[in-house]
Amino acid sequence: MNELQQMELKYLKSLANQYPNIAAASTEIINLQAILNLPKGTEHFMTDIHGEYEQFNHVLKNGSGAVRRQIDEEFGNTLSSRDKKSLATLIYYPQEKLDIVAMEEDNIEDWYKITLHRLVQITKRVASKYTRSKVRKALPKDFSYIIEELITEKFDISDKEGYYNEIIHTIIRIGRAPDFIVALSNLIQRLVIDHLHIVGDIYDRGPGPHVIMDTLMNYHSVDIQWGNHDMVWMGAACGHLACIATVIRIAVRYGSLDTIEDGYGINLIPLATFALDVYKDVNCDAFAIKYNTDYNTKDLSMDMKIHKAIAIMQLKLEGQAIKRHPEFEMDDRLLLDKINFEKKTVTVYGKEYPMKDIELPTIDPADPYALTTDEEQVMERLRQAFLKCEKLQKHVRFLFSNGGLYKIHNSNLLYHGCMPLDEEGNFKSVEVDGRRYRGKELYDVLDNLARKGYYAKNEPLEMRKAQDYIWYIWAGPNSPVFGKDKMSTFERYFIEDKKTHKETKNVYYSLLDNEDILNRILKEFGLDTKKSHIVNGHVPVELKKGETPVKCDGKLLIIDGGFSKAYQSKTGIAGYTLVANSHGMRLVAHEPFESTEAAILREYDIFSDSTVVETAPVRIRVSDTDAGTELRETIKQLEQLLQAYRDGIIIEK
């Protein structure tokens, strides 16, 4: 027996521990073969959520409109529009709705009876495309047996209606109806989305990225493609000073310091104390706060000082990183040394511009990128606070373990930003750590460096260099998730002329309708160009200007529709969900979400407009998916185990 045969036998013996005889192996083969012929589960793709946790959570709860659609199809004209709306709201927010019903209903037992029957019908409907085994795994422990009894057809019982009525009557009589309603509602939410893809940018701008991360960590099946805003938070969690300064600057700029202070419990008092002292009598008008209705304006003056203090530290720290890495090719971002304090001007790309603000007390013209002693102390205290924040570290570990810069799933290529291209439309060659990479290799090497920046604690020098690359992924001109020639932070604060603010997108974005380019990208990742798609986020699709998210007849789908309130005036909508199920693909455009309170009290749902992107000529089954490929491989191994039992090579137990 050669070495390969010995390894195969060793594997089969290991498999025999799980399936100890012919009967067990045969049963599993039959089960897996049956699963292959089921309709594929529903995948949801969402991107650029930017901290808008209320809208995000509502879209998950309503399955991008799928729950209401199931209610409409199940009950048709037998339920009024008002009753359908009430049932949908109950499914989205069962506990909150039950509290209201308990106060309003005169005959609560009748309401329980009617509602439980309706919920059981919907549960049956959404569970019908899954195996009993998969549904069983999704059932809540406390009610798994009862729910299985209610949603499983009983062919051997003559009075089926009486049987089901008695179960429901008993649930009500023993006082378990509210808990059972919550369990059924959560199960329905769980079953309408089989798998969730987040195509980047959970963080920044909105008030609750930490809430979104908590939701994702408790979600049944999810993957994440890192966006540039996720990367800078991941770098901050590593303790990289430029990333820490950046996430604080963005938070204070958008009036969402609560995310850092309350959401993550990170102490910003050292920074606030420093800013109030050093910038006490300094003009901070250029550092306005873009606040929303939740912002407490009594903090405005202090936050503007914090804003200016951290922005200056960010520019210094970025300059240090750029100087450490000439291969970043970012010398054009070294602008602090281009300031002429006497003339109150700065030279950018060879042209001199007047500065809006020249009161920069911590900048030494002789060494403009050096932190002052006080700034060093503030940044070190912030670094320790980020490193020791267990909640942030838990969230970032989840991003690493469930995410990457790209993902290939069921013939779809998912990435947040772009494939960097040169002016001729070829994959751009980029120097990374002493070698040049392009295409998929560029994605892979940067993904690997990001992980090293967090995990390579035994190699401190390599870890620090890798962390600089995490910062580069956030804002570097050849970063796949940034996709622009520069981030004009300095110019936006200090130069009036808006021409200097312009950030030129990578050539990729001007070639989105070029099918040859898209085919080359798909081939680069080993995908079939005839049946594959690229799913892309990052750049808001401005529907108001007539832009479309669907490119090249659906080969490329850009699904950033403005979840963030900061973008909704541009896009005209409030986010997209791409839904891929056994019938094909459709794009769901969401209207702005008012609030969770309005959704519960006024039964207000998001209006979502659905557009069919692609219709499958034959219903897509599990056998057509990546999971199907894995199942067929498992069946093959089990059949080899069966043969080994029959040949007496392995003895049955």
Cα atoms in the Cβ-side hemisphere of radius 13 Å centred on 643: 8
pLDDT of residue 133: 79
Confidence grade of residue 299 (pLDDT, cut at 50, 70, 90): confident
Torsion, Cα of 44, 45, 51, 57 (10° steps): -10
Amino acid at 273: T
DSSP letter for 539, please: S
Query: pLDDT (tens digit, 9 = 90+) per residue, 255-281?
Result: 999 999 999 999 999 999 999 999 999
Which residue ranges make up each domain of the chain? 3-38+632-646, 64-192, 225-491
Q: Write out the two tokens for 235.
A: 């770098």
The lowest-confidence range among 1-15, 339-353, 382-396 is 1-15
Number of residues assigned to the chain:
653
Look at residues 54, 187, 137 and name the one whose alpha carbon lies nearest to residue 565.
Answer: 54
Confidence grade of residue 542 (pLDDT, cut at 50, 70, 90): low
Is 425 in contact with 512 (CB distance < 8 Å)?
A: no
476 exposure class (CB count in 10 Å sphere: 0-12, 13-18, 19+): buried
Is 138's pLDDT higher than 90? no
Query: pLDDT (tens digit, 9 = 90+) per residue, 391-429?
Result: 999 999 999 999 999 999 999 999 999 999 999 999 999
Query: pLDDT (tens digit, 9 = 90+) per residue, 316-339?
Result: 999 999 999 999 999 999 999 999
CA 289 to chain CA centroid, nearest Å = 26
How is the beta sheet containing 533-536 ordered, strand by strand?
A: 406-409, 412-415, 533-536, 556-558, 550-551
Residues 6+ positions from 174 with CB-CB distance below 8 Å: none
DSSP letter for 29, please: H
Residues 6+ positions from 531 with CB-CB distance below 8 Å: 411
**DSSP string over 220-277:** SSEEEEPPHHHHHHHHHHHT-HHHHHHHHHHHHHTT-HHIIIIIS----HHHHHHHHH
Residue with the two structure tokens 């789908």:
557
Residue with the two structure tokens 């290529």:
413
Neighbouring C-beta atoms of residue 173, cutoff 10 Å:
10
Mean pLDDT of 488-503: 95
pLDDT of residue 355: 96
C-alpha angle 167-79-596 in degrees, rounded to nearest 5: 85
Strands 608-615, 584-590: pairing is: antiparallel
Mean pLDDT of 568-574: 64
pLDDT of residue 160: 66
Look at residues 209, 208, 229, 211 and name the one whose alpha carbon lies nearest to residue 538.
Answer: 229
Mean pLDDT of 197-219: 94
Is 79's pLDDT higher than 80? yes
pLDDT of residue 155: 61
pLDDT of residue 568: 65
The lowest-confidence range among 67-81, 238-252, 318-332, 360-374 is 67-81
Is 142's pLDDT higher than 90? no
3-state secondary structure of 418: coil
pLDDT of residue 553: 86
618 exposure class (CB count in 10 Å sphere: 0-12, 13-18, 19+): exposed
Is 187 in contact with 232 (CB distance < 8 Å)?
A: no
Percent of the chain predicted with pLDDT > 70: 96
Angstrom distance (rounded) from CA 29 to CA 452: 41
Is 502's pLDDT higher than 60? yes
Confidence grade of residue 449 (pLDDT, cut at 50, 70, 90): very high
Q: What's the chain's average pLDDT? A: 91
Percent of the chain predicted with pLDDT > 90: 71
Angstrom distance (rounded) from CA 163 to CA 150: 9
Query: pLDDT (tens digit, 9 = 90+) per residue, 97-125?
Result: 999 988 888 899 999 999 999 999 999 99
